[in-house]
Chains A and B, each alone.
Chain A
Amino acid sequence: MTARAASGLDLAPQDGERHRTLWQDAARRFLRNRLAVIGLAIVLLFLFLAVFADLVAPFPYDKVYFDRVLRFPFELPGHPLGTDEVGRDYLSRLIYGARTSMTVGIAVQTVAFLIGVPLGSLAGYVGGRTDFVISRFIDTMTAFPGLMFSILIISVWGGGITKVIFALSITSWIGIARLTRGQILSLREKEYVEAARCTGVSQNRIILRHLLPNALTPILVSISFGIPAAIFGEAGLSFLGIGINDPIPSWGKMVGVSNAYVRVYWHLALFPTIAVALAMLGFSFVGDGLRDALDPKMIE
């Protein structure tokens, strides 16, 4: 950046050099990162399974076969991953479990984005008393044990996918709000914002068009790490037996139930744990890749 600026300010693309936007640059760097691409493949696979579970899964997730209870993988034709403790096809339940995990992960981060970004921008841009109130609120919420709070809420209002999303959303926006506030606070003092203000651009437009797009990349990275955190939260709650209700499949619940059968029926524990781990790893790789790709300090 500085070298370019010093060498005569020719910021326009030169002949022969194709113009690339920030996002094209980022995509190029992202695709050169092997782990990030592996992560992206895993994430896309799970998203595909989540969306097309009805077409991909060989059985409905709640179809019970009383004559096929607790079968091992490949013991019966048509059940490559065996059946569970009430005779449901395990592969199908795993596939539908992807739908639960992805829904919770994406929904929780959407809520976090919708609450955190406006609140953080408001605190950062308006400052003064508004900032004081919002910041103290954020501080207080940080000192809340998040997962415990989710457990508490679930125990009061009961499980189910919407309630799990609600319980996890309550503390999920804090990090994004704090991040946005910090970003806006530092961007607010930049010359180009001052210039915009001088030319009479309205406050809303400054926030929406001048500040937020520049603050977006760290927020995006934070969301890509927030999704696996929400998936972990759902799996954890369901693992304890208070998250997703039967018969909707959830990987965490499958792990929790398998604990009672693990001595003999190892497959009940093995497959959902692999699914959880793969999903978490996939999203984390994507998050790492995004961070490296979007970090301007990394530009060669």
Chain B
Amino acid sequence: MAASRNRITIPGRSMARYILGRILSLILVLFVVSVVTFFLMHQVPGGPFDETKAPLPPAAKENILRKYGLDKPIHIQYLNYMKNAVLHFDFGIPYQQPTTTVTALIAKSWKVTAQVGVMTVLLAFGAGITLGIYAAYHQNSWIDNITTFIAMLGITVPSFVVAMWLILFFAVRLKWLPMGGWNASDACLLGSRFVCTDWIMPVVAYALGPLAIIARYTRSSMVDVMRQDFTRTARAKGLGNRAIMLRHILRNALIPMVTALGVIIPNLLTGSIFIEAVFRINGLGKFFVTSIFNRDYPMIMALFLLIAFLWSLTYLFTDIVYTWIDPRVRLGAEGGA
């Protein structure tokens, strides 16, 4: 107890130490992830140059293996790989498209995934917070009930199931929206890349889960704060509803949202695989699946490292933001007890 109080009196230094510790553990995690992935990948039965269709002459095969460094022992292969990856940002050559590099392929397809992700986050937070606030203000009204229902559905039902339902209803039955694609020219209004109808279903299906979590979090923390003494004091002072709402309730109610963020963003990273598969979007998620089917080690390795990196970065980020906005959180102390 004394130690933790001591730490809080010198926030700058303890914060720096805390962040440093977290960054070190992030590096450790990435190291473990890279080792595990690398060795698992090389466990895969069947190499990329196995001759099933056209057998190569042994000399030619040896040449190819040497070119890609596959003739060396596995730990040397790992060290070479990590050296190139960390120092030169070079993740090798994808077996499925040997004319480009992994970095170039990822650079080409990440934008689509990022676009889907950003729109999803905007929709999830915008609609989730709005619904949550509304439901908290009108408890047990029909809006509250609908919010509870949406939250239940979004939290329990997988995104690809929601996606199929949207397709069945809006694309197959009503024929209002395209079945899939992203930024397809015939789906975009106002020239192109501005408003596209093929954005609607992927983003809605993708956003429903996080939206549900956010709405539920917002509602419960709003209800909590609305019962607090300081809210009653503000009302007794004669403050207007809007001022109470914005300055007193919302500000405090949104603190737990950072935790929600920490849950949602990492899940969005992997969730994209399903959405891109259902809607035939050519983003990173789709690459991940095709890479697995093609046993494309360099591509899988790079994508997996990328996701693990972003994943642990969001964990780090939300933890730091959380200790920063809420001084009640004790730094470095064991939380479980």
Contact = CB atoms under 8 A, between A and B. Distances in A.
Interface of A: 136, 139-140, 142-145, 147-148, 151-153, 155-157, 178, 181-182, 185-186, 228, 232, 235-236, 239-242, 255-256, 258-259, 262-263, 266, 269-270, 273, 276-277, 280-281, 284
B160 interface: yes
A96 B289 CA distance: 27
A25 B289 CA distance: 49
B40 interface: yes
Contacts of B168: 262, 266, 269-270
A249 to B, nearest CB: 17
A145 B167 contact: no
B28 interface: yes
Contact of B274 (A143, A236, A242): A236
Contacts of A178: 336
B266 A269 contact: no
9 contacts: A152-B41, A153-B40, A186-B336, A236-B274, A239-B274, A256-B277, A259-B164, A276-B158, A281-B156
Contact of B167 (A140, A262, A284): A262
Contacts of A276: 157-158, 161
A143 B26 contact: yes
Interface majority SS on B: helix, strand, loop or mixed?
helix
B270 A147 contact: yes
Contacts of B156: 228, 277, 280-281, 284
B304 interface: yes
A151 B277 CA distance: 14
A148 B277 contact: no
Contacts of B203: none
A6 to B, nearest CB: 26
A155 B37 CA distance: 11
B157 A182 contact: no
Contacts of B308: 143-145, 148
By size class, the interface of chain B is: 35 or more
Interface of B: 25-26, 28-29, 32-33, 37, 40-41, 43-44, 152, 155-158, 160-161, 164-165, 167-168, 172-173, 179, 266, 269-270, 273-274, 277-278, 288-289, 292-293, 295, 300, 304, 307-308, 311-312, 315, 336-337
B212 to A, nearest CB: 12
Contacts of A136: 25
Contacts of B312: 143
Contacts of A239: 160, 274, 277
Contacts of A140: 25, 28-29, 32
B164 A185 contact: no
Contacts of A236: 158, 160, 274
A2 to B, nearest CB: 22
Contacts of B288: 151
Contacts of A186: 336-337
A155 B337 contact: no
B307 A145 contact: yes
Contacts of A139: 25
A82 to B, nearest CB: 15
A143 B337 contact: no
Contacts of B32: 140
B41 A156 contact: yes
B307 A242 contact: no
B37 A152 contact: yes
Contacts of B164: 255, 258-259, 262, 269-270, 273
B78 to A, nearest CB: 16
Q: Which of A143, A148, A228, A236 has the most CB of B within 10 A?
A: A143
Contact of A185 (B167, B179, B269, B336): B336
Contacts of A157: 43
A170 to B, nearest CB: 10
A41 to B, nearest CB: 16
A182 B289 contact: no
Contact of B266 (A145, A255, A259): A145
Nearest to A157: B43
A182 B160 contact: no
B242 to A, nearest CB: 34
A242 B295 CA distance: 13
A40 B107 CA distance: 48
Given A139-B25, A182-B336, A156 B161 contact: no
Q: Which of A153, A240, A256, A276 has the most CB of B within 10 A?
A: A240
B270 A156 contact: no
A277 B156 CA distance: 7
Contacts of A270: 164, 168
Contacts of B26: 143
A147 B273 CA distance: 10
B131 to A, nearest CB: 20
Contacts of A148: 270, 304, 307-308
Given A156-B44, A255-B160, A262-B168, 4 more contacts: A153-B40, A155-B295, A181-B336, A269-B164
B198 to A, nearest CB: 15
A113 B315 CA distance: 26
A281 B160 contact: no
Contact of A263 (B29, B172, B270, B336): B172
A156 B32 CA distance: 17
